[in-house]
């Protein structure tokens, strides 16, 4: 077994704000089956500490960036966890990254440098009895682990950085650098210096032995100026160690045949039972309870990445075509307000819930006829994978992991009987409108629709393939270092 220390700022079911949490929570079991054991180190936010049975302190820092800290070890939700209990960094209610005012905590640089430093200490053997071959850091919040390991005196494990979203980099003024406890050489063009600032993700991408991202298409896209978010030059330079590994889904959590969060469970052969979920969803969201209306769902963070402003632009047309819409989301206040107003304006046709609701997310997958993800960019996207599994037809823009996971219902795919959804491009309101018209004509052709639903539900969106690709990557990295 390859021994992996995973470093992350979220892990489902303990703490989740988006897909990162789902992935970090699901990977350990899949990797276990493929030949790698995982211990995951996460910050001790109150929501995490509240859910730890029998945690034992295995390491103590007298001063981890401004206060004492313990590393706790325990098993929770079948996950082998190390939790950095550092009250001065993490004992704050609510969102892991934002204060109640919706703004980033001003000391996020120090908070996640603390996670990285703790992970590097554990990764190099500070905890007796715990040794690791690989340290695998997810996103900028974990990337400092790789930077600290690069400057560690003595042997270190192999390092991997996975980029879930290049838009977030952890960029701070140069005045933070002296507090990080790194040699001056780290603050250079070849390290974590970026236009005079420190950039945590850049540090990780510069120093990691391997870089992955969460779909093959996104791996290509981020080496170009358009989607490189200012790091495309570095990513082109490191293209030899960069690869894309698609995410899977946790089918113990997302499986319509066993899902405890939906009213009527169903399988591919018993699609008729979905109708009961649709009726419950319509009622819950204040929509007309019409079985024949095409019901489109959205479950999303409300940010410009997700392209939902384009949907707002098309709402009048949608309603005129008799299409219903349900949206569950939270994020930018202007978008939240716009959807609340839209629901009031299109009473009975548009329903929205602003907030975060895991159970409603499942009901939308099980009760909607189609699921919309019109992102401007999308590293992988999980909601379209859940939609495939639940027989809700994904309608997606042709970017990143959306492009890699949905087979567009074009003439050839329909003739071959392999279509699983609809792709559109460019990411404009017009192209989105056209896609919804195509969706509506398919909806009116019930046999074609049901064929597409069966195809979608048969698509392999499991972690099996991806997990074996991660293990192959770990093996090749270890072979290079031996
Ligand atoms: P991202 O990580 O960019 O937000 P993904 O599609 O990868 O996008 O993952 C989003 C995850 O968060 C999915 O599990 C989705 O169901 C969930 N999610 C997003 N918004 C909400 C919400 N408002 N309520 C419940 N779950 C949500
Ligand atoms: C990020 C991306 C999303 C991806 C998720 C999990 O939040 O925005 O596309 O699915 O990470 O990898």
Q: pLDDT over 70 for what percent of the chain?
A: 100
Q: Is the CB of 18 under 6 A from ligand 1?
A: yes
For 447-481, what is each residue's pLDDT tens digit? 999 999 999 999 999 999 999 999 999 999 999 99
For 3-20, what is each residue's pLDDT tens digit? 999 999 999 999 999 999
For 241-252, what is each residue's pLDDT tens digit? 999 999 999 999
Helix orientation angle between 383-390 and 446-458, rounded to the nearest 10 degrees: 120
Residue 101: predicted pLDDT: 85
> Over the chain, what is the mean pLDDT?
97
| 157 lies in some domain | yes
- Å from CA of 392 to ligand 2 middle: 20
**Residue from 163, 273, 278 nearest 221 by CA:** 163
Residue nearest atom 26 in ligand 1 by C-alpha distance: 358
- Å from CA of 197 to ligand 1 middle: 31
Strand partners, 7: 41, 137
Structure tokens, 406: 């949905």
| 256 lies in some domain | no
Structure letter (DSSP) for residue 177: G
Q: Is the CB of 361 under 6 A from ligand 1?
A: yes
| 393 lies in some domain | yes
**Residue from 5, 116, 112, 128 nearest 56 by CA:** 128
Question: pLDDT higher for 404 or 102?
Answer: 404
Same domain, 152 and 301: no
Among 379, 399, 404, the mutation site with the greatest number of ligand 2 atoms within 8 A of its Cβ is 379
Distance CA 445, CA 440 (A): 9
- Region 80-103: mean pLDDT is 94
What's the total number of domains in the chain? 2
Q: Is the CB of 20 under 6 A from ligand 2?
A: yes
Same domain, 102 and 215: yes
Q: Is the CB of 357 under 6 A from ligand 1?
A: yes
| 259 lies in some domain | no
Same domain, 274 and 179: no
Residue 482: predicted pLDDT: 87
Distance CA 156, CA 124 (A): 6
Residue nearest atom 10 in ligand 2 by C-alpha distance: 381
- Å from CA of 402 to ligand 2 middle: 11
- Region 204-225: mean pLDDT is 98
Q: Whole domain around residue 376: which residue ranges?
A: 268-458
Please report the atom of ligand 1 found closest to the CA of residue 17: 12
What is the CATH number for 85? Answer: 3.40.50.2000
Q: Is the CB of 221 under 6 A from ligand 2?
A: no
Strand partners, 369: none
| 263 lies in some domain | no
Assess whether pLDDT exceeds 90 at residue 56.
yes
| 254 lies in some domain | no
CB 381 within 8 A of CB 217: no
Residue nearest atom 7 in ligand 2 by C-alpha distance: 19
Q: Is the CB of 151 under 6 A from ligand 1?
A: no
Same domain, 42 and 77: yes
- Region 344-357: mean pLDDT is 97
- Region 326-343: mean pLDDT is 97
For 129-156, what is each residue's pLDDT tens digit? 999 999 999 999 999 999 999 999 999 9
Distance CA 215, CA 403 (A): 9
| 434 lies in some domain | yes
Q: Is the CB of 380 under 6 A from ligand 2?
A: yes
Please report the atom of ligand 2 found closest to the CA of residue 305: 8
Place of tokens 């299409």: 323
Q: Is the CB of 335 under 6 A from ligand 1?
A: no
Residue 102: predicted pLDDT: 84
Q: Indicate the pTM of the whole model.
A: 0.97
Place of tokens 């048969």: 458
Distance CA 172, CA 197 (A): 6
Q: Is the CB of 164 under 6 A from ligand 2?
A: yes
Q: Is the CB of 299 under 6 A from ligand 1?
A: yes
Same domain, 347 and 212: no
- Region 273-291: mean pLDDT is 97
Please report the atom of ligand 2 found closest to the CA of residue 378: 9
Residue nearest atom 12 in ligand 2 by C-alpha distance: 164
Ligand nearest to the CA of 139: 2
Same domain, 12 and 79: yes
Q: Is the CB of 358 under 6 A from ligand 1?
A: yes
- Å from CA of 9 to ligand 2 middle: 13
Residue nearest atom 2 in ligand 1 by C-alpha distance: 19
Residue 94: predicted pLDDT: 82
Q: Side-chain half-sphere of 25: how many Cα atoms within 13 Å? A: 21
Same domain, 230 and 303: no
Same domain, 29 and 149: yes
Q: Count CB-CB contacts under 10 A for residue 213.
A: 27
Distance CA 328, CA 31 (A): 31
Ligand nearest to the CA of 163: 2
Please report the atom of ligand 1 found closest to the CA of residue 20: 2
Same domain, 31 and 176: yes
Same domain, 10 and 157: yes
Residue 240's contacts (CB-CB under 8 Å, 6 or more residues apart) are none
**Separation in Å, CA 238 to CA 102, 154, 222, 263, 421:** 35, 25, 12, 48, 34
Q: In angstroms, how far is CA 123 from the centroid of its own chain?
A: 24
Same domain, 131 and 170: yes
Same domain, 218 and 329: no
Q: Is the CB of 303 under 6 A from ligand 2?
A: no
Ligand nearest to the CA of 218: 2
């Amino acid at each position: 077994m390859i021994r992996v220390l995973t470093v992350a700022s979220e892990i489902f079911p303990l703490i989740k704000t988006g897909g990162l949490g789902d992935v970090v929570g699901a990977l350990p079991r899949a990797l276990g089956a493929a030949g790698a054991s995982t211990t995951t180190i996460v910050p001790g936010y109150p929501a995490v500490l509240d859910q730890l049975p029998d945690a034992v302190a295995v390491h103590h820092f007298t001063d981890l960036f401004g206060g004492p800290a313990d590393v706790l070890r325990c098993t929770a939700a079948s996950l082998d966890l190390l939790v950095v209990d550092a009250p001065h960094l993490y004992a704050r209610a609510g969102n892991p990254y934002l204060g109640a005012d919706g703004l980033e905590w001003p000391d996020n640089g120090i908070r996640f440098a603390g996670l990285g430093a703790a992970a590097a200490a554990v990764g190099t053997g500070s905890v007796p009895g715990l040794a690791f071959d690989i340290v695998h850091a997810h996103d900028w919040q974990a990337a400092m682990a790789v930077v600290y390991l690069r400057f560690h005196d003595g042997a270190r494990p192999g390092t991997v950085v996975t980029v879930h979203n290049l838009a977030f980099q952890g960029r701070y003024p140069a005045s933070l650098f002296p507090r990080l406890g790194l040699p001056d050489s780290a603050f250079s063009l070849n390290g974590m210096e970026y236009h005079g600032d420190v950039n945590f993700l850049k540090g990780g991408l510069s120093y990691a032995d391997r870089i992955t991202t969460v779909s093959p298409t996104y791996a290509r896209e981020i080496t170009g100026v358009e989607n490189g978010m200012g790091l495309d030059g570095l990513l082109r330079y490191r293209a030899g160690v960069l690869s894309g590994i698609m995410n899977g889904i946790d089918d113990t959590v997302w499986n319509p045949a066993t899902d405890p969060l939906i009213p009527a469970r169903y399988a591919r052969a018993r699609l008729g039972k979905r109708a009961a979920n649709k009726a419950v969803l319509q009622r819950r969201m204040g929509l007309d309870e019409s079985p024949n209306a095409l019901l489109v769902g959205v479950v999303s963070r409300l940010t410009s990445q997700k392209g939902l402003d384009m949907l707002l632009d098309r709402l009048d047309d949608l309603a005129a075509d008799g299409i219903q819409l349900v949206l569950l989301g939270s994020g930018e206040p202007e978008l939240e307000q716009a959807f609340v107003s839209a629901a009031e304006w299109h009473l009975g046709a548009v329903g929205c819930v602003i907030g975060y609701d895991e159970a409603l997310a499942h009901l939308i997958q099980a009760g909607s006829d189609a699921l919309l993800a019109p992102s401007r960019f999308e590293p992988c996207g999980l909601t379209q994978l859940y939609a495939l599994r639940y027989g809700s037809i994904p309608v997606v823009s042709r970017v990143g992991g959306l492009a890699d996971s949905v087979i567009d219902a074009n003439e050839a795919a329909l003739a071959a009987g392999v279509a699983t959804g609809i792709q559109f491009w460019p990411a404009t309101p017009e192209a989105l409108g056209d896609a919804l018209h195509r969706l509506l004509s398919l909806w009116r052709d019930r046999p074609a629709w049901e064929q597409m639903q069966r195809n979608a539900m048969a698509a392999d969106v499991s972690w099996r393939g991806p997990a074996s690709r991660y293990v192959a990557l770990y093996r090749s990295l270890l072979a290079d270092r031996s």
